[in-house]
């Protein structure tokens, strides 16, 4: 199930260079580097026993450096002498079916690699051996499309819908339901399609590998037109007098994508810069073109590109190399080398052939009340020859110097210009054969479009003339080097990051391992900087950007009628099709519609289900995973609580979190907290202005971040299995940072400076921030409406939900608009609010009692940083012997009474619709399955997950055509919600939700006689809980568990309840769902969709939000 990735979703993780090897989520998809991505992984993983929201944190490398090449980075694995024999053994495994092309040891990441070629089929296989138990398999095909029918994207969806060996309609779902997978997905680029699985359980891993391999080589989809119809597109007609409609999962997904102005700009820009090669068409599919794809073309595309000779197969982890080779040989031996496979898929270079820059204009949809502002982006094609390793790294640093932080010169200049609301583009995109550079603004007045373009050129000219500051260069170099050595892959498998780093060269027939080595180009770049300073980057900007005439400027012009025009265009097209059809042809469409729905609604037979390999309950670990924590209250008489998490190894890095109590902040100022946290980081502090502060962070640390954490807690003496009343809260300002152990003193100094001396009196900068936040909030509601409606519904039932909505939901957009007006018209009053917030947070009498310093590191790190901790505790603001805050585990949080008043006034339990310009809907319905004080067992998690991966998948996605259908459940609050994503339906989806309880009750009866299905539901739930965490995540999880007052005994009890789930638990939950307490609806959709829903009896209170 595929979801297109937005630039907003991954902007904080953008890839610095092809060498950087960060997670693929960090890739610059501003320009469409990844066309589509599977939605399944967006569900998230539990970090405790209950599914809880956690702050984003990062993973430490499994491919840890073997040698310490930078001060402070310690060895994370055995020394080279201890592992030489194992490396040699792993690199020299032979198999009669393969020839060895190349052996290599990636010293930077301690990885032994061997590149094989399968003799009979011609497939290439990269085997990576390391001590990472999170094993990864991937198979990638070059799949360059010739048009925008979306054939590679549709095929990506379709091959996972049954295969020769695995007979069910959707093996992907069975794997999702009953696997311990840590990654199970597929994604489409403009020039390739990747299928990836990962698991820490070896039996499970090879199950996943088998299903995926059979799926790509022998899919049911190329023989069954119904798969193409379901996943791609089809004409739907149930009665002859009804209008024809287009249906299909990818079709509806891409209608959602093409409803996003940012996506329209990115796609238009990519088309403009690549007029002659495959990157000039949309591999994801243009909704206007998708219906031109025939089944025959679809099947032929698979035949042309999905041959082993055109594949690149990847394994990494601690499993046996020979087993990998043997398993793949079982599939590959059926095929003979296809000599034309690789030549047929070669990606042609787009030549820099523009003698002068080009300009293009396109419309984009806006709502009736939106301001008529433009979007403008300037784009360059960077290269029409391969970059050297040195150039790749240097251009990545150049990009960071220009665009990487809010203080980077090009980004800062555009932001401060007042010519627009927010940056678009984002700089370098280098994941494809050719790199591009794009930058611009949105929210631009008509008369300022040309000024934006000129400002970009003037700023670049200035940089070439004057160069970059030495501290800017040092900061960017240190930041990139820290990331390279730490190898922080976020929440994704490290082996997947390794694979995608290798693929950046391997896909284009270059060495996969050379792409992963950074020591040589890094040393070369350092030497060049030492010799000529900034000149190396000035020359790159001049050569690849300023003197480059292969440039386009794309402008999007607002249109209040475009949405209606496109709707009418589609209706007219369908009407013309229907008019051209004979009665017999219409009958065939009706028959096909009926047949497809019957197929979608049918159950797989027991024999078909038995073909899917599965784990057994005995394969699961019974014990919950606990992370070390040592609590030191009032450490050194400082009044501050210090938490320590001693882990086996953190590669010489200390991860620090300073939590500061927020309970004194006025409830009226809660909506200002997102702005406040951003101001702390982006306006300068103490002696440093914004730019200087960013430099200091980059030079001395691995990064600092400021956010907030609001969580309900278990009251003292309470039963943790009972639903919380939500009146006991912990509310914290969170400052997170990381540094090598020898730099922690500087890290702590900067954290304290940000907390105490941030420059709040920054009117111009704060106005810029508010404009950016307004733009981001509008894009978030429009593109991730499911999250917006879920947050809105939660706000109706629990204090914590309303607080979250105030800070991040639909109402936050209104707050931002009000704050922007206040900042522009009455700055002193807004400044006074911000200053008062800081004064309250840092109240000298109480602030230390609410402070927590959380440190994660290995024993050596913890020992080395102790002197810095002692100094930090002494220097923190507040009195060491000050007053005590209320015990929020015993008394109600002071925000609660006022928040409840606001809930009653602004979030009554009623059905709401939020109108935006869009071609799809995001439909939510929620309520309370459990009320305050009622007991929730772990079995409820199993049932909720079963509903998400079964009934809702089938009825909202497969049968309904939505891109996603799922549900959420919180054992803490008892709140349950149904959600859909990029949904062509509205009223029908609510009907599906209303029938869900009966589906659960029916499933309860079936599960009594189907223990295997019950076991799969349990296994999948445990899999969600047991995903791997990096050192910083382990420490933060332990801190959260301590903060919410949850103990290890309860976590074990909850896990036991999951493992012991019975069919009777499904019945009990189904009965509760059938009598959902205080149900309500929230939907983001278009005016037309709401009118149609009202005609079907689904009326809501409507509000235009853009």
User: With the C-alpha atoms ordered 494, 495, 500, 506, is the resulting torsion angle positive or negative?
Assistant: positive
Q: Which of 47, 5, 45 is nearest to 23 (CA)?
A: 5
**Token pair for 873:** 């505790």
Task: Kindly report the backbone phi and psi dihedral angles of residue 956, in degrees, each rounded to the nearest multiple of 5, phi listed first.
Answer: -90, -45
Do 100 and 114 form a contact (C-beta atoms < 8 A)?
A: yes
DSSP bridge pairs for 983: 921
The rounded distance, in Å, linking the Cα atoms of 736 and 54 is 13
Do 205 and 229 form a contact (C-beta atoms < 8 A)?
A: no
Q: Which of 402, 366, 409, 361 is nearest to 382 (CA)?
A: 402
The rounded distance, in Å, linking the Cα atoms of 377 and 449 is 10
**Ordered alpha helix ranges (H), 919-995:** 939-949, 951-952, 987-994
* Collapsed DSSP state (helix, strand, coil) of residue 6: coil
Q: Which of 230, 100, 213 is nearest to 169 (CA)?
A: 230
**CA triplet 753, 757, 759: central angle to 5 degrees?**
125
| 231 catalytic residue (yes or no) | yes
Q: Quickly tell me which residue has 């990494």 as its tokens.
A: 316
Do 639 and 882 form a contact (C-beta atoms < 8 A)?
A: yes
User: With the C-alpha atoms ordered 268, 271, 274, 275, is the resulting torsion angle positive or negative?
Assistant: negative
Q: Which of 156, 391, 682, 772 is catalytic?
A: 156
The rounded distance, in Å, linking the Cα atoms of 820 and 824 is 6
Count of Cβ atoms closer than 10 Å to residue 897 Cβ: 12
Task: Kindly report the backbone phi and psi dihedral angles of residue 491, in degrees, each rounded to the nearest multiple of 5, phi listed first.
Answer: -95, 15
DSSP bridge pairs for 424: 440
The rounded distance, in Å, linking the Cα atoms of 853 and 656 is 7
* Collapsed DSSP state (helix, strand, coil) of residue 272: helix
The rounded distance, in Å, linking the Cα atoms of 752 and 770 is 25
Do 428 and 435 form a contact (C-beta atoms < 8 A)?
A: yes
Q: Which of 231, 253, 646, 1046 is catalytic?
A: 231
Do 105 and 178 form a contact (C-beta atoms < 8 A)?
A: no
Instruction: Give the chain's count of helices (H) and strands (E).
Output: 40, 28
| 156 catalytic residue (yes or no) | yes
The rounded distance, in Å, linking the Cα atoms of 1087 and 1102 is 9
DSSP bridge pairs for 902: none
Do 440 and 376 form a contact (C-beta atoms < 8 A)?
A: yes
**Token pair for 655:** 């991860």
Q: Quickly tell me which residue has 């793949």 as its tokens.
A: 328
By annotation, the residues acting in catalysis are 156, 231
């Amino acid at each position: 199930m595929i979801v297109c990735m937005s630039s907003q979703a991954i902007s904080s993780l953008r890839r610095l260079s092809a060498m950087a090897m960060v997670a693929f989520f960090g890739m610059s998809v501003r320009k469409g580097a990844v066309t589509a991505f599977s939605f399944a992984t967006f569900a998230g993983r539990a970090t405790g026993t209950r599914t809880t929201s956690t702050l984003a944190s990062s993973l430490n490398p499994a491919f840890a450096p073997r040698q310490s090449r930078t001060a402070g980075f310690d060895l994370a694995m055995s020394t080279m002498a201890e592992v030489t024999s194992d490396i040699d053994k792993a690199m020299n495994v032979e198999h009669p079916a393969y020839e060895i092309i190349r052996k290599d040891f990636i010293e930077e990441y301690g990885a032994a690699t061997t590149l094989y070629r399968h003799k009979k089929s011609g497939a290439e296989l990269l085997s990576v051996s390391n001590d990472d138990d999170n094993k990864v398999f991937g198979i990638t095909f070059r799949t360059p499309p010739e048009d925008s029918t979306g054939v590679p994207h549709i095929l990506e969806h379709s091959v996972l819908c049954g295969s020769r060996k695995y007979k069910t309609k959707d093996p992907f779902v069975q794997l999702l339901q009953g696997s311990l997978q840590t990654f199970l997905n597929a994604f489409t680029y403009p020039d390739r399609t990747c299928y990836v699985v990962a698991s820490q359980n070896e039996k499970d891993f090879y199950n996943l590998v088998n299903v995926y391999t059979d799926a790509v080589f022998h899919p049911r989809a190329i023989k069954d037109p119904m798969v193409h119809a379901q996943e791609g597109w089809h004409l739907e007609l149930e009665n002859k007098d009804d209008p024809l409609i287009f249906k299909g999962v990818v079709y509806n997904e891409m209608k959602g994508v093409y409803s996003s102005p940012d996506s329209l700009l990115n796609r238009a820009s990519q088309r403009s810069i690549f007029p002659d090669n495959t990157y000039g068409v949309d591999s994801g599919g243009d909704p206007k073109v998708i219906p031109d794809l025939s089944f025959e073309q679809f099947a032929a595309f698979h035949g042309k590109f999905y041959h082993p000779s055109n594949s690149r197969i990847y394994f990494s982890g601690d499993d046996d190399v020979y087993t990998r080779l043997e398993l793949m040989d079982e599939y590959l031996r059926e095929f003979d080398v296809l000599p034309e496979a690789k030549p047929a898929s070669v990606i042609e270079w787009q030549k820099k052939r523009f003698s002068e820059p080009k300009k293009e204009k396109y419309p984009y949809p806006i709502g009736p009340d939106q301001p008529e502002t433009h979007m403008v982006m300037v784009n360059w094609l960077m290269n029409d020859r391969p970059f050297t390793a040195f150039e790749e790294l240097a251009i990545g640093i150049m990009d960071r110097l220009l665009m990487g932080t809010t203080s980077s010169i090009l980004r800062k200049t555009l932001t401060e210009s007042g010519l627009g609301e927010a940056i678009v583009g984002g700089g370098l995109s280098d994941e494809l054969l050719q790199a591009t550079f794009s930058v611009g603004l949105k929210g631009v007045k008509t008369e300022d479009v040309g000024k934006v373009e000129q400002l970009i050129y003037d700023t670049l000219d200035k940089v070439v003339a004057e160069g970059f500051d030495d501290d800017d260069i040092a900061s960017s170099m240190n930041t990139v080097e820290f990331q390279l050595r730490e190898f922080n892959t976020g929440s994704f498998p490290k082996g997947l990051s390794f694979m995608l780093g290798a693929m950046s060269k391997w896909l284009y027939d270059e060495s996969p391992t050379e792409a992963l080595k950074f020591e040589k180009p890094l040393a070369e770049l350092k030497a060049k900087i030492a010799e000529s300073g900034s000149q190396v980057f000035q020359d790159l900007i001049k050569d690849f950007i300023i003197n480059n005439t292969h440039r386009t400027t794309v402008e999007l012009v607002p249109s209040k009628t475009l949405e209606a025009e496109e709707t009418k265009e589609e209706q007219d097209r369908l009407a013309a099709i229907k008019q051209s059809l004979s009665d017999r042809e219409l009958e065939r469409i009706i028959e096909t519609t009926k047949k497809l729905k019957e197929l979608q609604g049918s159950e797989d037979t027991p024999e078909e289900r038995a073909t899917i390999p599965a784990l057994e309950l005995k394969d699961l670990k019974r014990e919950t995973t606990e992370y070390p924590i040592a609590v030191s209250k009032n450490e050194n008489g400082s009044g501050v609580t210090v938490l320590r998490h001693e882990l086996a190894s953190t590669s010489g890095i200390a991860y620090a979190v300073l939590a500061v109590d927020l309970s004194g902040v006025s409830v009226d100022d809660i909506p200002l907290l997102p702005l406040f946290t951003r101001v702390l980081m982006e306006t300068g502090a103490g002696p440093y202005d914004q730019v200087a502060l960013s430099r200091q962070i980059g030079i001395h640390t691995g990064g600092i971040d400021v956010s907030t954490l609001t969580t309900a807690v278990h009251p003292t003496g309470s039963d943790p299995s009972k639903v919380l009343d939500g009146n006991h809260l912990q509310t914290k300002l969170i400052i997170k940072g990381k540094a090598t152990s020898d730099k922690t003193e500087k890290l702590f100094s900067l954290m304290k400076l940000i907390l105490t001396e941030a420059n709040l009196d920054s009117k111009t900068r704060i106005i810029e921030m508010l404009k950016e936040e307004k733009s981001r909030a509008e894009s978030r509601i429009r593109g991730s409406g499911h999250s917006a409606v879920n947050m809105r519904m939660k706000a109706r039932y629990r204090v914590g939900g309303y607080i979250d909505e105030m800070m991040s939901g639909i109402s936050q957009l209104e707050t931002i608009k009000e704050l922007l007006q206040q900042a522009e018209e009455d700055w002193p009053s807004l400044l006074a609010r911000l200053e008062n917030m800081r004064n309250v947070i840092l109240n000298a009498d109480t602030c230390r009692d609410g402070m927590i310093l959380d440190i994660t590191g290995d024993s050596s790190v913890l020992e080395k940083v102790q002197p810095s901790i002692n100094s930090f505790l002494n220097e923190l603001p507040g009195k060491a012997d000050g007053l005590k805050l209320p015990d929020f585990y015993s008394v109600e949080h002071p925000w609660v009474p006022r928040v409840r008043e606001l809930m009653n006034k602004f979030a009554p339990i009623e059905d709401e619709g939020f109108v935006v310009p869009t071609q799809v809907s995001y439909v939510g319905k929620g309520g309370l399955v459990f009320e305050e004080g009622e007991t929730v067992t772990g079995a409820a998690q199993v049932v909720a997950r079963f509903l998400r991966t079964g009934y809702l998948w089938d009825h909202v996605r497969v049968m309904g055509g939505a891109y996603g259908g799922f549900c959420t459940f919180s054992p803490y609050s008892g709140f349950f919600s149904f959600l859909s994503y990029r949904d062509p339906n509205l009223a029908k989806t609510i009907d599906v939700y209303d029938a869900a309880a009966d589906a659960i009750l029916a499933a309860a009866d079936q599960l009594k006689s189907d223990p295997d299905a019950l076991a799969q539901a349990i296994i999948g739930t445990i899999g969600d809980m047991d995903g791997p965490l990096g050192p910083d995540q382990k420490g933060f999880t332990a801190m959260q568990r301590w903060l919410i007052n949850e103990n290890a005994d309860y976590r074990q009890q909850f896990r036991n309840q999951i493992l012991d789930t019975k069919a009777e638990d499904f019945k009990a939950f189904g009965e509760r769902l059938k009598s959902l307490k205080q149900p309500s609806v929230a939907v983001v959709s278009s005016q037309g969709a709401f009118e149609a829903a009202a005609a079907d009896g689904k009326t809501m209170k409507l509000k235009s939000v853009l």
